[in-house]
Amino acid sequence: MNSNKSILSIEELNSVIEVAIKETFSKFMRTQVSCEELELTVRDSLKRDISGVVGLVRDDSIEGTFSINFEYETLTPLLCQFFKKEVTTTDKMTSESVAELTNMIYGIIKEYLNNHDYGYQMCLPVVTVGNCHEVFSSVRGERSLFKVDSPLGSFWCEMNLHKIGIDTLLAA
């Protein structure tokens, strides 16, 4: 890695996350979305039925996580619109789609960070399914939470970075 890497602010990183979300849904799902950064205090009230989670891996350590979290009421119509056929919440295609969305958004974020010499690696997403489940991250550091509004409903994206990782990512 280059020791002359640029230092990113949390605002710049949040901007990259927002662009990645919008670009993924525009290109892959053919739908426009808007993002709103939320206060972390609302995090505990979020309902999740299916979530995709990916680790931010660098130098053989996990420095953070990115997750996308849906209620079935939003995800099912989005997938029906995309696939132009009926999709059920238990369909394997549903879990695979959430994994792919997670992977695509993370890929855009990773590419941006790696263009700034951060050296993040590819990491495969994990999908969790279950009515009203919660996703906890053991990451202690910077957290960003976005409410994403689509024409068919809202969902949430969350980024967590370890303090150790954030110190190298963000200005002190």
pLDDT score recorded for residue 27: 93
Q: What is the pTM of this model?
A: 0.85
Alpha-carbon radius of gyration of the chain: 16
CATH topology classification for 10-37+49-169: Chemotaxis protein chec (3.40.1550)
Could you tell me the CA-to-CA distances from 38 to 19, 121, 135, 145 in Å, in that order? 16, 28, 17, 5
Residue 71, SS3 per DSSP:
coil
Which amino acid is it at 116?
A: H
Per-residue pLDDT of the chain in tens (172 residues, 90 and over written 9): 444 455 677 788 899 999 999 999 999 888 999 999 887 665 666 778 999 999 888 877 778 889 999 999 999 999 998 998 988 877 788 999 999 999 999 999 999 988 988 888 888 999 998 888 777 676 667 788 899 999 999 999 998 887 544 445 554 3
DSSP state of 121: P
